[in-house]
Amino acid sequence: MKQTYRILKPSAQNAETARQRFLHDVEQGLSQSPKSIPSRYFYDETGSKIFEQIMDLPEYYLTRAEYEILNNSRQQLAEMMNLQGFNLIELGAGDGRKTRVLLEYLQSAKIDFRYIPIDISPGAMATLQEEVSACCGDLEMLGVVGEYFQGLNWVEKQVGGASLVLFLGSNIGNFHPGKAKVFLRRLRQVLRPGDFVLMGFDLKKDTRRLNAAYNDKQGITAQFNLNLLNRINGELAGAFDLDNWAFYSWYNPLSGAVESSLLSQVRQTVHIGACDRNFVFDAWEAIHTEFSFKYSEAEIESMAKLAGFLVVHHFYDNQHDFVDSLWRVPA
Ligand SMILES: C[S@@+](CC[C@H](N)C(=O)[O-])C[C@H]1O[C@@H](n2cnc3c(N)ncnc32)[C@H](O)[C@@H]1O
Protein backbone atom coordinates (compact mmCIF):
# COMPACT_ATOMS: atom_id res chain seq x y z
CA MET A 1 0.00 0.00 0.00
CA LYS A 2 1.37 3.40 -0.86
CA GLN A 3 0.53 6.06 1.67
CA THR A 4 1.92 9.42 0.75
CA TYR A 5 0.95 12.50 2.68
CA ARG A 6 3.09 15.52 2.05
CA ILE A 7 1.98 18.75 3.65
CA LEU A 8 3.97 21.70 2.34
CA LYS A 9 3.69 24.07 5.24
CA PRO A 10 4.87 27.67 5.09
CA SER A 11 8.42 28.22 6.39
CA ALA A 12 9.00 30.47 9.44
CA GLN A 13 9.95 33.23 6.98
CA ASN A 14 6.72 32.73 5.02
CA ALA A 15 4.74 32.72 8.28
CA GLU A 16 6.24 36.11 9.15
CA THR A 17 5.38 37.38 5.65
CA ALA A 18 1.81 36.10 6.15
CA ARG A 19 1.59 38.01 9.47
CA GLN A 20 2.91 41.17 7.81
CA ARG A 21 0.33 40.80 5.08
CA PHE A 22 -2.43 40.28 7.65
CA LEU A 23 -1.30 43.45 9.44
CA HIS A 24 -1.10 45.39 6.17
CA ASP A 25 -4.59 44.26 5.08
CA VAL A 26 -6.14 45.02 8.49
CA GLU A 27 -4.46 48.45 8.69
CA GLN A 28 -5.53 49.31 5.16
CA GLY A 29 -9.05 47.89 5.57
CA LEU A 30 -9.70 49.82 8.77
CA SER A 31 -8.35 53.06 7.25
CA GLN A 32 -10.84 53.15 4.37
CA SER A 33 -14.50 54.03 4.23
CA PRO A 34 -16.50 51.83 4.61
CA LYS A 35 -14.10 49.84 6.80
CA SER A 36 -13.50 46.20 5.87
CA ILE A 37 -11.39 43.11 6.63
CA PRO A 38 -10.90 40.48 3.87
CA SER A 39 -12.87 37.28 4.53
CA ARG A 40 -9.81 35.08 3.92
CA TYR A 41 -8.71 35.96 7.48
CA PHE A 42 -11.69 34.08 8.97
CA TYR A 43 -9.76 30.84 8.76
CA ASP A 44 -7.31 30.63 11.64
CA GLU A 45 -7.50 27.39 13.63
CA THR A 46 -10.55 28.54 15.64
CA GLY A 47 -12.26 29.97 12.54
CA SER A 48 -11.85 26.70 10.61
CA LYS A 49 -13.38 24.77 13.56
CA ILE A 50 -16.32 27.20 13.76
CA PHE A 51 -16.86 26.83 10.00
CA GLU A 52 -17.20 23.05 10.51
CA GLN A 53 -20.06 23.82 12.95
CA ILE A 54 -21.67 26.17 10.40
CA MET A 55 -21.76 23.37 7.83
CA ASP A 56 -23.87 21.28 10.27
CA LEU A 57 -26.42 24.04 10.98
CA PRO A 58 -30.04 23.29 9.98
CA GLU A 59 -30.31 26.68 8.22
CA TYR A 60 -27.07 26.26 6.23
CA TYR A 61 -28.43 24.22 3.27
CA LEU A 62 -25.32 24.80 1.08
CA THR A 63 -23.14 21.95 2.40
CA ARG A 64 -25.95 19.37 2.35
CA ALA A 65 -26.97 20.39 -1.18
CA GLU A 66 -23.44 20.07 -2.53
CA TYR A 67 -22.88 16.78 -0.68
CA GLU A 68 -26.01 15.44 -2.39
CA ILE A 69 -24.76 16.63 -5.80
CA LEU A 70 -21.37 14.95 -5.42
CA ASN A 71 -22.90 11.79 -4.02
CA ASN A 72 -25.47 11.47 -6.84
CA SER A 73 -23.31 12.68 -9.73
CA ARG A 74 -19.84 11.25 -9.07
CA GLN A 75 -20.14 8.39 -11.55
CA GLN A 76 -21.50 10.65 -14.32
CA LEU A 77 -18.79 13.20 -13.57
CA ALA A 78 -16.03 10.58 -13.86
CA GLU A 79 -17.51 9.28 -17.12
CA MET A 80 -17.77 12.77 -18.61
CA MET A 81 -14.13 13.55 -17.81
CA ASN A 82 -12.82 10.13 -18.77
CA LEU A 83 -9.38 10.85 -17.22
CA GLN A 84 -6.70 8.52 -15.83
CA GLY A 85 -3.54 9.44 -13.94
CA PHE A 86 -4.76 12.98 -13.23
CA ASN A 87 -4.34 15.54 -10.44
CA LEU A 88 -7.47 16.20 -8.41
CA ILE A 89 -6.63 19.69 -7.17
CA GLU A 90 -8.95 21.25 -4.60
CA LEU A 91 -8.80 24.99 -3.87
CA GLY A 92 -9.82 25.96 -0.32
CA ALA A 93 -10.49 22.32 0.54
CA GLY A 94 -11.50 22.89 4.18
CA ASP A 95 -12.21 19.62 6.02
CA GLY A 96 -13.02 17.83 2.74
CA ARG A 97 -16.18 16.16 4.05
CA LYS A 98 -17.91 16.48 0.66
CA THR A 99 -14.86 15.70 -1.45
CA ARG A 100 -14.55 12.44 0.45
CA VAL A 101 -17.51 10.92 -1.45
CA LEU A 102 -15.77 11.69 -4.73
CA LEU A 103 -12.40 10.36 -3.57
CA GLU A 104 -14.00 7.11 -2.36
CA TYR A 105 -15.85 6.64 -5.65
CA LEU A 106 -12.78 7.28 -7.83
CA GLN A 107 -10.76 4.82 -5.75
CA SER A 108 -13.46 2.14 -5.92
CA ALA A 109 -13.78 2.64 -9.70
CA LYS A 110 -9.99 2.04 -9.96
CA ILE A 111 -9.40 5.45 -11.50
CA ASP A 112 -5.80 6.54 -11.07
CA PHE A 113 -5.36 10.03 -9.57
CA ARG A 114 -3.56 11.96 -6.85
CA TYR A 115 -5.31 14.37 -4.51
CA ILE A 116 -3.77 17.84 -4.12
CA PRO A 117 -5.73 20.01 -1.67
CA ILE A 118 -4.63 23.65 -1.30
CA ASP A 119 -5.77 25.60 1.76
CA ILE A 120 -4.47 28.64 3.59
CA SER A 121 -5.46 27.16 6.97
CA PRO A 122 -2.99 24.70 8.60
CA GLY A 123 -5.80 23.64 10.98
CA ALA A 124 -8.15 22.75 8.10
CA MET A 125 -5.33 20.83 6.37
CA ALA A 126 -4.65 18.79 9.54
CA THR A 127 -8.36 17.82 9.82
CA LEU A 128 -8.46 17.03 6.11
CA GLN A 129 -5.41 14.80 6.40
CA GLU A 130 -7.12 12.78 9.16
CA GLU A 131 -10.32 12.58 7.11
CA VAL A 132 -8.54 11.34 3.98
CA SER A 133 -6.43 8.94 6.00
CA ALA A 134 -9.62 7.44 7.49
CA CYS A 135 -11.51 7.09 4.20
CA CYS A 136 -8.87 6.48 1.58
CA GLY A 137 -5.74 5.06 3.25
CA ASP A 138 -3.75 4.25 0.11
CA LEU A 139 -4.51 7.45 -1.75
CA GLU A 140 -1.58 9.66 -2.72
CA MET A 141 -2.17 13.10 -1.21
CA LEU A 142 0.00 16.19 -1.53
CA GLY A 143 -1.42 18.87 0.73
CA VAL A 144 -0.36 22.46 0.15
CA VAL A 145 -0.85 24.97 2.97
CA GLY A 146 -0.90 28.29 1.16
CA GLU A 147 -2.76 30.71 -1.08
CA TYR A 148 -4.71 29.40 -4.10
CA PHE A 149 -2.23 30.52 -6.75
CA GLN A 150 0.85 29.86 -4.61
CA GLY A 151 -0.37 26.24 -4.53
CA LEU A 152 -1.38 26.10 -8.19
CA ASN A 153 1.98 27.47 -9.33
CA TRP A 154 3.75 24.89 -7.15
CA VAL A 155 1.67 22.10 -8.72
CA GLU A 156 2.33 23.46 -12.21
CA LYS A 157 6.11 23.32 -11.60
CA GLN A 158 6.36 20.09 -9.59
CA VAL A 159 3.60 17.81 -10.87
CA GLY A 160 2.72 17.22 -14.50
CA GLY A 161 -0.34 15.71 -16.11
CA ALA A 162 -4.01 16.50 -16.59
CA SER A 163 -6.00 18.16 -13.81
CA LEU A 164 -9.49 18.50 -12.42
CA VAL A 165 -9.70 21.58 -10.20
CA LEU A 166 -12.43 21.59 -7.55
CA PHE A 167 -13.57 24.93 -6.17
CA LEU A 168 -16.51 23.91 -4.00
CA GLY A 169 -18.65 25.36 -1.22
CA SER A 170 -19.49 28.51 -3.20
CA ASN A 171 -16.01 29.89 -2.37
CA ILE A 172 -16.18 31.80 -5.67
CA GLY A 173 -19.18 33.65 -4.16
CA ASN A 174 -16.83 35.38 -1.71
CA PHE A 175 -15.23 37.28 -4.61
CA HIS A 176 -16.80 40.47 -5.91
CA PRO A 177 -17.91 39.58 -9.51
CA GLY A 178 -15.14 41.76 -11.04
CA LYS A 179 -12.52 39.98 -8.93
CA ALA A 180 -14.11 36.60 -9.67
CA LYS A 181 -13.60 37.27 -13.40
CA VAL A 182 -9.91 38.12 -12.84
CA PHE A 183 -9.52 35.01 -10.64
CA LEU A 184 -11.11 32.73 -13.26
CA ARG A 185 -8.98 34.15 -16.09
CA ARG A 186 -5.87 33.57 -13.98
CA LEU A 187 -7.04 30.02 -13.24
CA ARG A 188 -7.58 29.44 -16.96
CA GLN A 189 -3.97 30.59 -17.61
CA VAL A 190 -2.39 28.01 -15.26
CA LEU A 191 -4.44 25.11 -16.69
CA ARG A 192 -3.83 23.14 -19.87
CA PRO A 193 -6.15 22.30 -22.76
CA GLY A 194 -8.38 19.38 -21.74
CA ASP A 195 -8.20 20.17 -17.99
CA PHE A 196 -11.48 20.41 -16.07
CA VAL A 197 -12.87 22.67 -13.35
CA LEU A 198 -15.83 21.83 -11.08
CA MET A 199 -17.09 25.07 -9.60
CA GLY A 200 -19.74 25.26 -6.83
CA PHE A 201 -22.26 28.13 -7.01
CA ASP A 202 -25.12 28.93 -4.65
CA LEU A 203 -28.14 29.83 -6.79
CA LYS A 204 -30.37 32.87 -6.34
CA LYS A 205 -33.45 31.92 -4.30
CA ASP A 206 -36.09 33.07 -1.80
CA THR A 207 -34.42 35.80 0.27
CA ARG A 208 -35.89 34.37 3.50
CA ARG A 209 -33.85 31.19 3.06
CA LEU A 210 -30.71 33.18 2.27
CA ASN A 211 -31.16 35.38 5.31
CA ALA A 212 -31.81 32.38 7.57
CA ALA A 213 -28.67 30.58 6.29
CA TYR A 214 -26.43 33.45 7.37
CA ASN A 215 -28.33 34.37 10.57
CA ASP A 216 -28.54 31.02 12.36
CA LYS A 217 -30.53 30.82 15.59
CA GLN A 218 -27.57 29.48 17.60
CA GLY A 219 -25.39 32.48 16.71
CA ILE A 220 -22.55 30.33 15.29
CA THR A 221 -22.13 32.55 12.20
CA ALA A 222 -21.92 35.56 14.53
CA GLN A 223 -19.13 33.79 16.48
CA PHE A 224 -17.36 33.04 13.19
CA ASN A 225 -17.32 36.75 12.30
CA LEU A 226 -16.42 37.95 15.81
CA ASN A 227 -13.47 35.54 15.77
CA LEU A 228 -11.86 37.91 13.22
CA LEU A 229 -11.53 40.50 16.00
CA ASN A 230 -10.19 37.82 18.38
CA ARG A 231 -7.62 36.91 15.74
CA ILE A 232 -6.49 40.55 15.45
CA ASN A 233 -6.24 40.70 19.26
CA GLY A 234 -4.12 37.51 19.40
CA GLU A 235 -1.88 37.93 16.34
CA LEU A 236 -1.62 41.72 16.00
CA ALA A 237 -1.90 42.82 19.64
CA GLY A 238 -5.34 44.36 19.03
CA ALA A 239 -7.56 45.60 21.85
CA PHE A 240 -11.05 44.87 20.49
CA ASP A 241 -13.63 44.36 23.25
CA LEU A 242 -15.95 41.78 21.67
CA ASP A 243 -18.86 42.87 23.89
CA ASN A 244 -18.94 46.14 21.95
CA TRP A 245 -19.59 44.45 18.59
CA ALA A 246 -22.64 42.89 16.94
CA PHE A 247 -22.89 40.74 13.83
CA TYR A 248 -25.17 41.89 10.98
CA SER A 249 -25.85 40.02 7.73
CA TRP A 250 -28.53 40.46 5.10
CA TYR A 251 -29.14 39.56 1.45
CA ASN A 252 -29.08 42.57 -0.85
CA PRO A 253 -31.00 41.71 -4.04
CA LEU A 254 -29.47 44.73 -5.80
CA SER A 255 -25.89 43.51 -5.36
CA GLY A 256 -26.93 39.82 -5.48
CA ALA A 257 -24.95 39.07 -2.31
CA VAL A 258 -25.41 38.27 1.33
CA GLU A 259 -23.40 41.13 2.85
CA SER A 260 -21.97 40.51 6.32
CA SER A 261 -20.49 42.98 8.75
CA LEU A 262 -19.60 43.68 12.37
CA LEU A 263 -21.28 46.74 13.89
CA SER A 264 -19.67 48.92 16.53
CA GLN A 265 -22.38 49.27 19.18
CA VAL A 266 -20.76 52.35 20.75
CA ARG A 267 -18.37 55.07 19.65
CA GLN A 268 -14.97 53.60 20.50
CA THR A 269 -11.24 53.81 19.84
CA VAL A 270 -9.34 50.53 19.40
CA HIS A 271 -5.54 50.28 19.57
CA ILE A 272 -3.68 47.75 17.39
CA GLY A 273 -0.24 47.21 18.92
CA ALA A 274 1.46 45.65 15.87
CA CYS A 275 1.15 48.94 13.95
CA ASP A 276 0.86 51.14 17.07
CA ARG A 277 -2.24 52.86 15.71
CA ASN A 278 -5.65 53.81 17.07
CA PHE A 279 -8.77 53.23 14.99
CA VAL A 280 -11.94 55.20 15.75
CA PHE A 281 -15.37 53.63 15.19
CA ASP A 282 -18.58 55.63 15.34
CA ALA A 283 -21.62 54.14 17.05
CA TRP A 284 -23.23 51.67 14.59
CA GLU A 285 -20.40 52.00 12.08
CA ALA A 286 -19.77 48.74 10.16
CA ILE A 287 -16.69 46.70 9.34
CA HIS A 288 -17.58 44.77 6.19
CA THR A 289 -16.43 41.14 6.60
CA GLU A 290 -17.83 39.08 3.73
CA PHE A 291 -19.74 39.00 0.46
CA SER A 292 -21.51 35.75 -0.47
CA PHE A 293 -22.66 36.31 -4.05
CA LYS A 294 -25.55 34.25 -5.40
CA TYR A 295 -25.74 33.43 -9.10
CA SER A 296 -28.18 32.51 -11.87
CA GLU A 297 -27.30 29.89 -14.49
CA ALA A 298 -27.06 32.63 -17.16
CA GLU A 299 -24.52 34.54 -15.03
CA ILE A 300 -22.50 31.37 -14.43
CA GLU A 301 -22.35 30.56 -18.12
CA SER A 302 -21.33 34.07 -19.02
CA MET A 303 -18.53 34.02 -16.38
CA ALA A 304 -17.21 30.70 -17.69
CA LYS A 305 -17.22 31.93 -21.28
CA LEU A 306 -15.56 35.25 -20.45
CA ALA A 307 -12.74 33.42 -18.67
CA GLY A 308 -12.21 31.10 -21.66
CA PHE A 309 -13.87 27.88 -20.37
CA LEU A 310 -16.44 25.67 -22.08
CA VAL A 311 -19.41 24.72 -19.90
CA VAL A 312 -19.79 20.93 -20.07
CA HIS A 313 -22.62 20.27 -17.61
CA HIS A 314 -24.52 21.65 -14.59
CA PHE A 315 -25.04 19.19 -11.72
CA TYR A 316 -27.92 20.15 -9.37
CA ASP A 317 -29.28 18.97 -6.03
CA ASN A 318 -32.92 17.85 -5.99
CA GLN A 319 -34.20 21.19 -4.72
CA HIS A 320 -32.20 23.19 -7.28
CA ASP A 321 -30.57 25.20 -4.50
CA PHE A 322 -27.00 24.77 -5.64
CA VAL A 323 -25.06 23.89 -8.77
CA ASP A 324 -21.68 22.28 -9.37
CA SER A 325 -20.78 23.48 -12.85
CA LEU A 326 -18.29 21.39 -14.87
CA TRP A 327 -16.06 23.41 -17.21
CA ARG A 328 -13.36 22.34 -19.65
CA VAL A 329 -10.34 24.18 -21.00
CA PRO A 330 -10.76 24.07 -24.81
CA ALA A 331 -8.06 22.52 -26.97
C1 LIG B 1 -16.01 28.43 2.91
S2 LIG B 1 -14.69 27.32 3.31
C3 LIG B 1 -15.12 26.03 2.18
C4 LIG B 1 -14.43 24.73 2.44
C5 LIG B 1 -14.76 23.63 1.44
N6 LIG B 1 -14.34 23.97 0.09
C7 LIG B 1 -16.22 23.33 1.46
O8 LIG B 1 -16.85 23.45 0.41
O9 LIG B 1 -16.75 22.93 2.48
C10 LIG B 1 -13.33 28.14 2.55
C11 LIG B 1 -11.99 27.44 2.67
O12 LIG B 1 -11.07 28.12 1.79
C13 LIG B 1 -9.87 28.42 2.47
N14 LIG B 1 -9.37 29.69 1.91
C15 LIG B 1 -9.92 30.92 2.01
N16 LIG B 1 -9.20 31.83 1.32
C17 LIG B 1 -8.15 31.15 0.79
C18 LIG B 1 -7.03 31.53 -0.04
N19 LIG B 1 -6.89 32.79 -0.44
N20 LIG B 1 -6.15 30.57 -0.41
C21 LIG B 1 -6.30 29.27 0.01
N22 LIG B 1 -7.33 28.86 0.79
C23 LIG B 1 -8.24 29.78 1.17
C24 LIG B 1 -10.25 28.52 3.95
O25 LIG B 1 -9.18 28.24 4.82
C26 LIG B 1 -11.38 27.50 4.06
O27 LIG B 1 -10.93 26.22 4.45
Domains in the chain and their CATH numbers?
1-238+294-331 (3.40.50.150)
Average pLDDT over residues 180-188: 97
Residues 138-157 as b/e (b if ≥16 CB within 10 A, e otherwise) read ebbbbbbbbbbbebbebbee
Range with the poorest average pLDDT among 66-70, 149-153, 217-221: 149-153
Question: Of 8, 121, 224, which is best to mutate to test ligand 1, by the most ligand atoms within 8 angstroms of its C-beta?
Answer: 121
Atom 8 (ligand 1): residue with closest C-alpha? 169
Average pLDDT over residues 283-294: 98
What CA–CA distance (Å, rounded) separates 132 from 6? Answer: 13
Average pLDDT, the chain: 94
- Å from CA of 120 to ligand 1 middle: 7
Q: Is the pLDDT reported for residue 161 higher than 90?
A: no
124 close to ligand 1 (CB < 6 Angstrom): yes
Please state whether 160 falls in left (phi above 0), alpha (psi between -120 and 50) or beta: beta
How confident is residue 13, by pLDDT bands cut at 50, 70 and 90?
A: low
Predicted pLDDT at 154: 85
Q: Which amino acid is at 26?
A: V
pTM over 0.85: yes
Structural contact between residues 150 and 122, judged by C-beta atoms closer than 8 angstroms? no
169 close to ligand 1 (CB < 6 Angstrom): yes
Predicted pLDDT at 328: 98
171 close to ligand 1 (CB < 6 Angstrom): yes
Predicted pLDDT at 6: 66
